[in-house]
Structure 1
Amino acid sequence: MTTSLRLTDRKREAIVLAAIAEFGDNGFEVTSMDRIAARAEVSKRTVYNHFPSKEELFAEILQRLWCRISELPDSAYRPGVALRPQLRAMLQNKMLTLSDSNCLDLARVALGATIHSPERAQVWLARLNEREETFSLWIRAAQADGRLKAVDPAFAANQMHALLKAFAFWPQVTFNEPVLSAEKQREVIESALDLFLGWYEITDKTPASPA
């Protein structure tokens, strides 16, 4: 039974990798489940056993590559530690995702695939947003600790994402600009921290200890 499960997992991974290559080479509309099955060297039935539709398969890929924000140990809010280094660690992790060439390539494919299908765009956007909860949870915890102003955590988190994506995602996806250099990434992160904490941090308290 264990061997069978491992084989199933290997086939699923082969399907995802083949789909990434096919979508990247041919776009969403042209790519077919037949082509994905052939590239993964599995049957078409096997592909459908894992993914009921091409949309579901692409959504899986987006979740892996576009919004790959793992729950790192330092993503949990830490009372008594300065807010800036806590946020900086999360933004650096986010920046790694935004600089991933696979993420950018698939974002371009997704953009093209959703232009003519608003319904598809809404489904994918909902799935993607489910994976960007790290900032919202952190903000909510900091608010409960009395260190950030009262605001909808999801709204504030979206503002933070936008501060990064305006420089490190949308120009690369829409105009094929190069990925930001390490120096420019640091500049964008520190500027985002200045804006976010300058507006939301409550400073009329005893300063927290540095990280």
Structure 2
Amino acid sequence: MSEIAARVGGSKATLYSYFPSKEELFLAVVRSVAENHLRTTFGDLDAGRSVRENLLLFSERFIRLLASNEIINSHRYLVGEAGKSSVGRLFYEQGPRVGQDETSRFLATAMGKGELRKSDPEIAAKQLVALCKAEHFEERLLAVREELSEAEVREMAARAVDLFMRGYAPD
């Protein structure tokens, strides 16, 4: 709190009047960042495109987000803190869980329209996210791989969506 007060100006007392605890401040930051990322990742999906085209757009955006230095550095920090406090759970509930719910709603709509095979949309959302992470996330997290090129993002997204569509093609 002292460092934040020094950077933004003001005092710790002022910060604590807005945020009763470090966790509350953390949640406010996570909510703000998550809202921005949700708009960027889910914005204008289903605007007259096929489900495959929407999934490609989503997957490219999501892979780009997951591979960003901001997200990678956040995950590195959170993994270290998760066992010591409730920060990991709080982050999950305000960040990844919100994105998963949004993905699940999108997939449920596509399933309802017959564009995807009817299944559990929450499980399908988790599987799509796993496919989007499969080729790069662990390597980026562990500093084995450098930033992804745009071509790599497009290729990874295409492979993830192709596999997902094979598994969830309409009956």
Q: State the TM-score bracket (shorter-chain normalisation).
A: 0.7 to 0.9
Q: Is the 8 A contact 1:37 1:47 kept in 2?
A: yes
Contact 2:100 2:122 in 1 (8 A): no
SS of aligned partner of 2:126: helix
2:38 aligns with: 69
Name which of 106, 113, 121 aligns with 2:88.
121
Output one character per residue of 1:122-168: Cα deviation in whole Å (capped at 9) or x when no partner: 23212221233332111111111122122111111111111112333
CA distance in 2, matches of 1:90, 1:139: 12
- Calculate the TM-score normalised by the size of structure 2: 0.84
In structure 2, the partner of 1:58 is 26
The C-alpha deviation readout for 1:153-211, integer Å capped at 9, x for no partner, is 11111111111123333321234531222222112101101110001011x6xxxxxxx
Cα deviations across residues 98-137 of structure 1 (Å, max 9, x unaligned)? 23222221221111111334x4422321222123333211
Amino acid in structure 2 at the alignment position of 1:122: R
SS at 1:69's partner residue? Answer: helix
Letter in 1 for 2:93: A
Q: Give 1 or 2 for the bigger CA radius of gyration.
A: 1
Partner of 1:130: 98
RMSD: 2.2
Alignment of 1:173-184 (within 5 A): 173-175=141-143, 177-184=145-152
For 2:159 and 2:3, the matched residues in 1 are separated by: 45
Unaligned runs of 5+ in 2: none
Matched AA of 1:53 = S
Report the more deviating stretch, 129-138 or 186-195: 129-138
Distance in 1 between the 2:57 and 2:154 partners? 11
- Indicate which of 101, 106, 131 corresponds to 2:69: 101
Equivalenced residues, count:
167
Q: How far apart, in 2, do the equivalents of 1:64 and 1:96 lie? A: 19
Task: Judge conservation of contact 1:77–1:142 (CA < 8 Å) in 2.
Answer: no
One-letter code aligned to 1:193: V
Equivalent-residue separation in structure 1 for 2:112 and 2:76 (angstroms): 38
Q: Residues 125-164 of structure 1 correspond to what in structure 2 (within 5 A)?
A: 125-128=92-95, 129-164=97-132
User: Which is bigger in relative contact order (C-alpha 8 A, separation at least 6)?
Assistant: 2
Q: Is the 8 A contact 2:34 2:94 kept in 1?
A: no
TM-score by length of 1: 0.70
Structure 1 stretches of 5 or more lacking a match?
1-32, 205-211
Residue 91 of structure 1 and its aligned partner are, at CA, apart by 1.3
